[in-house]
Amino acid sequence: MTTVPAGDRSFHDALRRARDADVDLESALTLFRGAARPERARRLFRAAAEVRDRTLGRKLTLTAHLHMVTRCELSASCNYCSLSSTIPSVSDERSPLTLRETLEGVRFALAKGVGSVVLVGGTDFDGSDELLRKIVTRIREFTDLPLGLDIGPSLSERTVRWLGRQNVSPIYCSMETIDEAVFADAKPGDDLAARLRFMGLVERCGGHLGNIVMNGLGTPESQLKTVLASRRFPHTTHLHISTFHPVPGTPWAHRRPASLATSLRLLAIARLAFPRLELGLAEVGVENPRGLASVASQLSAGGGNTLAAVLVYKRLRIDHRERIRDQARSLRFEVA
Ligand code: SF4
């Protein structure tokens, strides 16, 4: 029988329960705080990786993300987003692609042999239905590759049902944070209630959901609440943890970056709470140079099994496939 030091007992008990997906807010906090100590973090990550291996195995699928297939019409832009930067070269990173550029981007991704393409765009409460249908229709003329979509609550029920028939899944609608006050502070032009309503709509239409939680918004407790709030949406298949990184020229340019180590703790707890989800750190593209270094770390902390390997922006294309393959191989992962 293992002897557990008295001070370690609550962490040990929370981890034992979590191995069976028994994770509530209290035990999630115990794991999160306990794992501030490196030895406990290693135990947390090992448990999460074992759960991932048991449920999903060690085979990775690579995806491509295309930014931005639709314009973001929020006024004001989110305080952390490069769209809110006063520096044109920074805000231009998220300039919308023309239809032709979107189709070229998809062809570029196809040529790289990825397993799916996620179309990323901005939020438009007036609806992006017409443009989105045109984009998907044109893509379907040359490929039946699985498509995901991440354009916020910008679509009607009719379009969501139509997307289901076009094999578009998952449809992301990121909460970022479930804390209303924190959400309003970070995203003054956005609407959390509209996002939650849209997630419900996707589920009613039989679709699958993707969600992103931002490390850097609110307290650890509210971040863990946001992770666990995925339980409200049983059709969730993809959950990502993003790590706040200050973007020059934005209202939050001078905030301290959130720590990758904290994101990994959130990720590992998410794995224990949701053994079967596709989980990982959100791809951060041009905005965060630390992004790639996190591939091996996130796999070691229970992430997987889908990774964004190809990123297409208006003026930039990034291909991380070989570097991801190298990191994955060193951890004995197979890449599809
Ligand atoms: S909704 Fe997305 S694209 Fe629009 S401002 Fe916010 S973070 Fe940027």
Residue nearest to atom 5 of ligand 1 (CA): 77
Q: Using alpha carbons only, give the angle 94, 281, 71 rounded to the nearest 5 degrees.
A: 20
The arithmetic mean of pLDDT across residues 300-327, rounded, is 91
From 81, 284, 313, mutation site for ligand 1 pocket: most ligand atoms within 8 A of C-beta? 81
Indicate whether 37 belongs to any domain. Answer: no
Atom number of ligand 1 nearest to Cα 94: 3
Do the domain assignments include residue 21? no
Polymer length in residues for the chain: 336
**pLDDT more than 90, % of the chain:** 88
Q: What pLDDT was estimated at residue 295? A: 87
Judge whether 51 lies within some domain. Answer: no
Q: What is the Å distance from ligand 1's center to 79 Cα?
A: 9
Q: H or E element: which one contains 60?
A: strand 59-67
Q: Compute the distance from residue 123 Cα to the ligand 1 centre, in Å.
A: 7
Q: 2 lies in a domain? A: no
Look at residue 11 and tell me if it is in a domain: no
Q: Taken in order 188, 190, 195, 196, is the CA torsion positive or negative?
A: positive
Residue 323: pLDDT band (50, 70, 90) is: confident
Provide CB contacts within 8 A for 9, sequence distance 6+: none
The domain in which residue 67 lies consists of: 58-335
pLDDT value for 123? 97
The answer to the question of residue 269 being in a domain is yes
Which DSSP string do the residues of 10-55 spell out, in sequence order?
HHHHHHHHHTTT---HHHHHHHHHHTTSHHHHHHHHHHHHHHHHHH
Check residues 8 and 197 and name the one with the higher pLDDT. Answer: 197
pLDDT of residue 8: 86
Q: Which CATH number belongs to the domain containing residue 138 in this structure?
A: 3.20.20.70
Structurally, the chain folds into a number of domains equal to 1
Query: What does the mean pLDDT of the chain come to?
Result: 94
CA separation, residue 36 to residues 30, 42, 282 (Å): 10, 10, 22
294 confidence band (pLDDT: 50, 70, 90): confident
Token output for 177: 């944070």
Question: What is the percent of the chain where pLDDT is above 70?
Answer: 95
- 25's tokens: 């807010």
pTM of this prediction? 0.94
Average pLDDT over residues 190-211: 98
Beta bridge partners of 189: none
